[in-house]
Structure 1
Amino acid sequence: MDAAAATTFHHHRRKDKVVVIMGATGSGKSRLSLDLSTLFFPFSEILNSDKMQVYSGLDITTNKIPLHQRRGVVHHLLGDVDPSAGEFSPSDFRHRAGEIISDVTNRRKLPIIVGGSNSFIHALLVERFDPELNVFDTESSSPSSLVISSELRYNCCFLWLDVSFPVLSEYLIKRVDDMLDSGMVDELAQFFDPDATEEMNRTGLRKAIGVPELDRFFKEHPPGSIKDEDRVRKGAYKEAVRAIKDNTCKLSKKQIRKILRLKRAGWDLQRIDATVAFTAALTSDDSWSDIWERQVLEPSVKIVNRFLME
C-alpha cells in the first residue's frame, strides 16, 4: 500500500463504536451501565473509567459494584490494578483500555465505558493525546493546554447523566453515611499506614476520598486503641466525616465543570436529567424506580439504539 492509499485508508477506516456514560460521582452511572448491559446482554461488556476503582482494594471506600450485583455482566479494569505498582496514569489507562476495546469489538460486542474520571475518558478517546498537557487545568498559563480536541479515535455515543447539584449533594451526603454504615471505617483502619510519607499519600489509591481524611484521625486515635462507640463520639471523627462529605461534593462540582468543558469543545454529549428520580429516591418514594426507567433508562435506550443503527 503506497503512502497516499495508506492516508486515505486512515481517514476512511471504520471506527469502533463505543458507548460512554459520563456524569459526576453519585449520579447513577453504574446503575445505568448495568441496566443497558442487561438489555443488550450478552452483546456488551463494561469498561470502568473511574481512576480509583481501577485499583484493587478499598471496595467500600471507592464504592465498587459488588460482584453479586453485576448481573453477570463482564467488567474490565474494575479492581484489576495492583496499587503497590504505583500510579496508574491517564496514559496507562489509554493503553490498557484501548487493548480491551479492541478485544471486545473483535468479539463483536459493544464496549460500555463508565466512570467519573474525565481525565481518563479524555486520554482514552482523543485521536492525539499528549500526556504532558492537562487540558482541564484552567489555571495554566499555556493556551495550548486549554484546547480540547473533538477529533476522537472511536465512534462514540455519549450519555451524560446529570442531577441538579442541590439534589446530588444531598444524595452524596447520604451515600457517605451508608458507606460508613457498611464498614468504611474498619476498611480504612486496615489500610492505614502510620509510616506513609506525604509523597505516598499523593499517589494512586491513597488519593481516594476517605483515605487522607481518616488518616489524620487515625494518627490521633490509632485503630484498636479505643472502643468503636467512644471513637464515634470523638470530635475528630465527626470532623473527618464532615471533610469526607465536603470533599465528595467538591469532587462532583469539579467533574461537572470538566464535562461542561468537553461539551463546549464539541463533544456530542446527550444530557439525561435524573433529578426527578433522585428526588424520589431521597424521599423514599416507592415510584422512584419507575421514574428512573421512564426518564433515564428509556431515553438512554433510544439514544443507544439509534446510534447502533447508524
Structure 2
Amino acid sequence: MPHSTMLQHCNATPPRRHPKVLVILGATGAGKSKLSVDMASTFFPNSEIINSDKIQLYRGLDITTNKMTLSQQLGVTHHLLGQLDPVNSVSPSEFRSLGSAIIADIFARRRLPIIVGGSNSLIYALLVKRFDPDCDVFNGSKPDPVSSELRYNCCFIWVDVFLPVLNEYLNKRVDSMLNSGMLDELDEFFASPEFDSVSETGLKKAIGVPEFKKYLTNDCTNFEEDLYEEAVRNVKENTCQLAKRQMGKIQRLREGKWDLRRIDATAAFKAAMGLDGEKAARIWERQVVETSVKIVNRFLKDE
C-alpha cells in the first residue's frame, strides 16, 4: 500500500484505554525477530508483529536487509515488513502515524501488538506520549532528554548479546548472506530502471548498497578482487558499528527510565557458532524464550 494511502487511514490518537504492547528490541543480529516469532507462533497466538526496522520497511533487497522469509514467519501476521514503496522514505513522525494506526486496529480486534526492530529512533517516536521531531535524544554531545511518558502500556524485552560474540556472529552472517545470493540481489538492484528513483534516505542506506556500489558498477576489470574484498570488509565493519550504536541507544532509553527487561542470549550464540545446533536450540529455548514468556505472562495478567 502506498505511503499516502496508508497515512490517509492513520489515526495517531491511541484508544481511550491504554492497550498493552510488547516491544522486543536489541542490536542487529541479536535474535529479536526469531524471539518474536517463537513467542507469537507458540505462546501468544493472538498476537501480530509490527516491524520497526527502518530499512526493512521497504520492498526489495530481502537478503541484503535480512528480512525474515515467509517460511521463517511461521504464519504470524507481520505489518510494515517490506510493504512500503522504496521511492519514498518514512520519517519518524510518519512511522508514528502508521504504527499507531496498526496498533489501534490490532487492539480493536483484541489481539496483542508486538513491536520488533532495531531502529530505536522509530520505537521512540512511536511510543512516547509527546513526540517532537525536532528533538534528538540519541545523538550529539548533549542529546535531548529521553521522555519516560509513554502512550501505551509497554512490556520491553531487550535481547542482548555480549558485543565481541555478536560481532563474530555478524561477520559470519555477512558471509552467509553473500552465499545466499546477496551479491546477485545487489547487482539487480543497481541495474534496475527504478534504481534512480529509490529514496536516498531509505533503501539506498541499507548496509551493502554503498559498500558494494563501486564494485558492482565499476567498468574497469582491474583490481576487481580487491574491490570485492574491500566491500566485504566494509559491510562487516559497518554492521558491527551499527550494532554498537544501537546498544548505545538502548542504554540511553534505560537511563531515561524505560523499564527494559534484559535477556542475555550470549550462551545460545556461542553454542550456535560452535556448530552445536541442538545445544544452541536448548539454551535459546530455556534462557531466552522461556524467560521472556514468563515476563510477558506477568505483564498480561497485571491490571
- In the superposition, the TM-score normalised over structure 1's length comes to 0.88
Q: What residue is the counterpart of 1:298 in the other structure?
A: 290
Is 1:75 matched with 2:78? yes
CA–CA distance in 2 between the matches of 1:219 and 1:189?
8
Secondary structure in 2 matching 1:192: helix
2:52 aligned partner, one-letter code: S
2:154 aligned partner, one-letter code: C
Aligned-CA RMSD value: 2.2
Q: Tell me how far 1:41 sits from its aligned partner.
A: 4.5
Q: How many residues align?
A: 287
Is the contact made by 2:99 and 2:126 (CA closer than 8 Å) also made in structure 1? yes
CA–CA distance in 2 between the matches of 1:210 and 1:95?
29
* Cα offsets for 1:161-217 (capped at 9, x unmatched): 0000010000000000000000000000011159978x9774110000000000121
Is the contact made by 1:167 and 1:278 (CA closer than 8 Å) also made in structure 2? yes
Is the contact made by 1:194 and 1:219 (CA closer than 8 Å) also made in structure 2? no
Q: What residue is the counterpart of 1:131 in the other structure?
A: 133
1:165 aligned partner, one-letter code: L
CA–CA distance in 1 between the matches of 2:96 and 2:279?
40
Q: What residue is the counterpart of 1:120 in the other structure?
A: 122
Match of 2:19 among 16, 20, 39: 16
1:151 aligned partner, one-letter code: E
Match of 2:164 among 163, 166, 188: 166
1:122 aligned partner, one-letter code: Y
CA–CA distance in 1 between the matches of 2:174 and 2:209?
13
CA–CA distance in 2 between the matches of 1:23 and 1:221?
40
CA–CA distance in 1 between the matches of 2:301 and 2:116?
21
Q: What residue is the counterpart of 1:235 in the other structure?
A: 226
CA–CA distance in 1 between the matches of 2:217 and 2:108?
50
Is the contact made by 2:161 and 2:264 (CA closer than 8 Å) also made in structure 1? yes
Is the contact made by 2:157 and 2:260 (CA closer than 8 Å) also made in structure 1? yes
Q: What residue is the counterpart of 2:36 in the other structure?
A: 33
Is the contact made by 1:41 and 1:73 (CA closer than 8 Å) also made in structure 2? no
2:60 aligned partner, one-letter code: G
CA–CA distance in 2 between the matches of 1:132 and 1:39?
41
Match of 2:180 among 157, 176, 182: 182
Q: 1:194 to 1:104 in 2, by over 3 A?
A: closer
- In the superposition, the TM-score normalised over structure 2's length comes to 0.90
Q: What residue is the counterpart of 2:300 in the other structure?
A: 308
Is the contact made by 2:86 and 2:198 (CA closer than 8 Å) also made in structure 1? no
Secondary structure in 1 matching 2:115: strand
Is 1:218 matched with 2:216? yes
1:78 aligned partner, one-letter code: L
Q: What residue is the counterpart of 1:4 in the other structure?
A: none
Match of 1:262 among 231, 240, 253: 253
CA–CA distance in 2 between the matches of 1:148 and 1:138?
13
Q: What residue is the counterpart of 1:152 in the other structure?
A: 150
Q: What residue is the counterpart of 2:204 in the other structure?
A: 206
Gaps of 5+ in 2: 1-12
* Cα offsets for 1:140-171 (capped at 9, x unmatched): 5xxxx421100000000000000000100000
CA–CA distance in 2 between the matches of 1:133 and 1:169?
31
Q: What residue is the counterpart of 1:192 in the other structure?
A: 190
2:264 aligned partner, one-letter code: D
Is the contact made by 1:46 and 1:114 (CA closer than 8 Å) also made in structure 2? yes
Q: What residue is the counterpart of 2:279 in the other structure?
A: 287
1:24 aligned partner, one-letter code: A
Secondary structure in 2 matching 1:137: coil
CA–CA distance in 2 between the matches of 1:174 and 1:139?
33
CA–CA distance in 2 between the matches of 1:182 and 1:306?
40
Q: 1:277 to 1:221 in 2, by over 3 A?
A: farther
2:229 aligned partner, one-letter code: K
